[in-house]
Amino acid sequence: MSRAQKLEQIRTAPDFDLVVVGGGITGAGVAREAAGSGMRTLLVEQNDFSWGTSSRSSKMVHGGLRYLGSGHFSLTRDAVQERERLMAEAPGLIDPLRFIMPHFRKQFPGPRLFQILLRVYDRIAHNPSRQRLSPTETLQWVPGLATGNLVAASGFTDAVTDDSRLVQRIIEEAEADGALCLNYLQADEVLRDGESSAVTGIRLHDTISRGQPLTVNASLVINATGAWARQLQQTDDGKTRIRPLRGSHLVLPYNRLPVSCSVSLFHPKDRRPVFAFPWQGTTVLGTTDLDHHDNLSREPAITREELDYLLEISDTLFPASAITEKDIIATWAGVRPVVSEKTGDTKGIKPSKENREHVIWSDNGLISIAGGKLTTFRLIAREVLERARDLMPGLSLRDDSAPVFSPPPPLLRPTDITHRNWERLQGFYGPALEQVLNAGSHQTIAPSDTLWAELAWAAANTDVVHLDDLLLRRTRLGLILPSGGEALLPEIRRVCQPVMGWDNDTWNREQTRYLDIWRASYSLPAVNGEQA
């Protein structure tokens, strides 16, 4: 169903059991569980699906080892169990990744303490992966690692994903169960009964056509807008403060910093955990953790302070590589909607010390959710819907063991696709795999494993409105190709313009818009007012 057809369906049949506002991982998870439970579900997102935090995370589906060290046992337990479940359900989309934590003399934590922590971590997962490595064994895993004062390393396994594709797949599963999911549809106002103040619906407007507002009838609205959660609320409980924290990353050519695992270390400046890990044919360095004071409606961007911070960790971990700004392909920055433990001034709490637990609060039919982790989206979604039972007494959630993802069709692997890429394609696209394969060429777009067919299929079938939707979120070519893939734009135009139905003026306008966004938010930060 096209986006225009979805809008027309809302106009002609505006009654829903619930409306989910926010098209990130949390909103997508709620829509998936609600539609799978037989509820007539509408999901709306004011920008593109996963435009915010959920396309700009550190790509990790992990159990939160650091949170276990902080005493948040229940958060770690839930995340580890969900990690195992997701890897089993969608291999290729959520993949195991080996982590190596080097231990240097007189630095905390030492190998003995860290191994104790890992023993508990493994026991929770029922999947032992803990390993202690000698300095020689460590260098076999991580060639080029700094060896000065290296006494040992600890190895363990977590998981990695393409966060934006994860969101898109969950949305596709929700739609397969009957949900309507629309991007670029903004929620303006939650409507309430004048006497009881109970929610009666929501007023929306299409930010593309800018036509007449849409009024939708629903007794339940789920506010899953993350850092924007306060904008839909009319009351303030005085207890919940959302603290936007920015995390930034650098993308490097794999041949400049070749790592086959995630290498983790505490930054010498502030003792925060930082990582170098392989992703989509590149190496990523991240992340920072700073208060974000800019307008949330603007795309966040890395600052020069953060750039220097991340280059410092590359110098510390891999001094022989001598990484400089000239090596950097791209950057990205995301804003985490962390729920602060303090409702007033947060200067007393370092960003990295804030709790990552989620918080849910209800206001007479408007249920808001903030915080939480990428890994636990399913548990959060079910908890939100459990809160709705008072408003919908007949609500019966689907079985807790029901899978999130439908399996791919039983197809034979085409001979021009490698075994590794075949597994990725099965995980990325599930039931749509055959359509993807038939959409175009199976040639890959180096350095990624992305097929031209994936680009063509996404352009035609995933509600792409702008070119940046296609190159920054449906695929990640804008993050892994030099200059955002500018040199490849003529070929991308040849493949995608016909299936998107754009005339030449539209394409030229979209290309300018995309390159402007890339230079402002995904390239190096400006130097003395000029773009680096």
Q: Give the domains, in start order, of the chain with CATH numbers.
A: 3-53+164-240+352-390 (3.50.50.60), 241-342 (3.30.9.10), 419-521 (1.10.8.870)
Instruction: Tell me how far apart the alpha carbons of residues 312 and 289 are, in angstroms, rounded to a whole number.
Output: 15
Instruction: Tell me how far apart the alpha carbons of residues 482 and 480 are, in angstroms, rounded to a whole number.
Output: 7
pLDDT tens digits, residue range 126-161?
Answer: 888 999 999 999 999 999 999 999 999 999 999 999
Cβ-Cβ contacts under 8 Å for 275 (sequence gap 6 or more):
58, 262, 263, 264, 284, 285, 286, 287
Query: What pLDDT score does 432 carry?
Result: 98
**Residue ranges of E strands in 120-166:** 131-133, 150-161
pLDDT of the chain, 532 residues: tens digit per residue: 899 999 999 999 999 999 999 999 999 999 999 999 999 999 999 999 999 999 999 999 988 787 787 777 888 899 999 999 999 999 999 999 999 999 999 888 899 999 999 999 999 888 889 999 999 999 999 999 999 999 999 999 999 999 999 999 999 999 999 999 999 999 999 999 998 999 999 999 999 988 889 999 999 999 999 877 777 765 555 566 788 999 999 999 999 999 999 998 888 888 888 999 999 999 999 999 999 999 888 999 999 999 999 999 999 899 999 999 999 999 999 998 888 765 555 555 666 555 557 889 889 999 999 888 899 999 999 999 999 988 888 889 999 999 999 999 999 999 999 999 999 999 999 999 999 999 999 999 988 999 999 999 999 999 999 999 999 999 999 999 999 999 999 999 999 999 999 999 999 999 999 999 999 999 999 765 455 5
Do 87 and 158 meet the contact criterion of CB atoms below 8 Å apart?
no
Query: What pLDDT score does 347 carry?
Result: 56
Q: DSSP labels for 443-459?
A: -B-TTS--BHHHHHHHH
* Closest to 329 in 3D by CA, of 487, 123, 496, 185: 487
Query: What pLDDT score does 531 carry?
Result: 53
pTM of the predicted structure, to 2 decimals: 0.95
Angle ∠(289,294,300) on CA atoms, nearest 5: 65
Handedness of CA 94, 96, 102, 103 (dihedral sign): positive
pLDDT tens digits, residue range 428-480?
Answer: 999 999 999 999 999 999 889 999 999 999 999 999 999 999 999 999 999 99
pLDDT tens digits, residue range 375-394?
Answer: 999 999 999 999 998 888 88
